[in-house]
């Protein structure tokens, strides 16, 4: 319940917030009620729904598997876009009886772009705000993630039977230690090494953040993202052999997703930063080229030269610089 008294529960517009890789829904609530997007949206009269991606601490259930089963972790963002995000949309849509607003961060934007490109979500969506939008990763400059990709380290973990990718786990910790040594990276500042020099995050927020993050994901998911980094493409997961690809896709190479297929009248806000080493400007430019025929009044861009990847979700000044324009965009669409 927000501090706004203008709307009853029945007419509050629903908004779904989807976090990024290795995070969970708590990231939308870090900081004071005047700084955290989840609280701000509630105070502006929105019905706020927070999603936790499968594999995170709050989302480890399954109909017949448990996280100790290797099969539990046999998924990548293909499944998140194909099944999980549409299921979340349908649940909120049927619970509220209203179309949704959507806010995605990082991987949460990739899932949405892919789902929208396949005609999913469209009939349940009012508009979408994509913070640090991901569709292409080929020009990523994050030394940690680029090293993991170019050294095929997640593939090596998978071959050793490590199906759960958890930074706090012994196997992944050894991997990251190897990356830091091999690439001669100073890994004492985890935030900067992974995401770029975030300008505007309080130390107290960093402490709170590190108390609950990072969360688990599937090693297969990291492999899929590594394929995107190495190849600069947007395709389904590549199994690495003809037999498995033909079995899954009916062709020897994984089919490509086509962002150009997103309906041109879907209102989109894309917000990205100049210091981000994960969602780098040059990759966003490729995405914008795919969206060049989008209706001009349905595509809004916001660029913050001083922002890196996490500033958009836990920056102390994001409330004014990012969230106020985001809410204004929602009010118009």
Q: What does the DSSP 8-state code read for residue 9? A: T
User: Hey, what are 140's tokens?
Assistant: 């990523």
| Residue partners of 103: CB distance under 8 A and separation at least 6 | 15, 16, 17, 18, 37, 128, 129, 131, 326
**Nearest residue to 107 via CA among 51, 42, 173:** 51
Whole-number Å distance between alpha carbons of 99 and 101:
7
In this structure, are strands 217-218 and 164-165 parallel, antiparallel, or unpaired? Answer: antiparallel
Distance of CA 135 to the CA centre of its chain: 10
- The distance of Cα 293 from the centroid of its chain, to the nearest Å, equals 24
DSSP, res 164: E
| 3-class DSSP string for 290-305 | HCCCCCHHHEEEEEEC
Are the C-beta atoms of 131 and 313 separated by less than 8 Å?
Answer: yes
- Label residue 121 left, alpha or beta by phi (over 0 means left) and psi (-120 to 50 means alpha): left
- The set of catalytic residues is 106, 276, 309
Burial class (CB in 10 A: 0-12, 13-18, 19+), 203: exposed
Q: State how far the alpha carbon of 217 is from the alpha carbons of 200, 212, 325, in Å.
A: 27, 14, 31
């Amino acid at each position: 319940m927000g501090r706004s008294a203008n709307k009853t529960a029945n007419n509050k517009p629903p908004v779904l917030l989807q976090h990024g890789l290795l995070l969970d829904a708590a990231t939308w609530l870090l900081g004071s009620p005047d700084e955290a997007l989840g609280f701000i949206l509630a105070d502006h009269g929105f019905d706020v729904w927070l999603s936790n991606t499968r594999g995170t601490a709050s989302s480890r259930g399954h109909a017949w598997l448990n996280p100790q089963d290797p099969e539990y972790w046999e998924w990548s963002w293909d499944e998140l876009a194909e099944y999980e995000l549409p299921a979340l949309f349908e649940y909120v849509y049927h619970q509220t009886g209203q179309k949704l607003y959507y806010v995605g961060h990082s991987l949460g934007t990739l899932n949405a772009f892919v789902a929208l490109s396949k005609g999913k979500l469209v009939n349940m969506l009012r508009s979408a705000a994509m913070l640090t939008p991901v569709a292409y990763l080929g020009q990523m400059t994050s030394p940690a993630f680029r090293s993991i990709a170019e050294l095929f380290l997640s593939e090596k973990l998978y071959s050793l039977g490590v199906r759960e990718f958890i930074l706090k786990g012994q196997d992944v910790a050894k991997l990251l230690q190897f990356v830091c040594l091999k690439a001669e990276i100073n890994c004492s500042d985890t935030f900067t090494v992974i995401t770029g020099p975030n300008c505007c995050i309080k130390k107290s927020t960093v402490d709170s953040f590190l108390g609950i993050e990072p969360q688990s994901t599937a090693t297969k998911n990291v492999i899929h993202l590594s394929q995107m980094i190495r190849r600069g493409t947007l395709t389904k997961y590549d199994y690495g052999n003809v037999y498995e690809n033909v079995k899954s896709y009916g062709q020897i190479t994984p089919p490509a997703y086509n962002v150009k297929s997103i309906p041109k009248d879907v209102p989109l806000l894309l917000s990205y930063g100049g210091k981000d080493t994960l969602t780098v400007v040059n990759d966003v430019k490729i995405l914008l080229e795919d969206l060049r025929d989008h209706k001009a009044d349905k595509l809004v861009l916001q660029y913050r030269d001083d922002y890196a990847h996490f500033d958009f979700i836990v920056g102390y000044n994001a409330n004014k610089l990012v969230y106020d324009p985001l809410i204004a965009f929602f009010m118009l669409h």
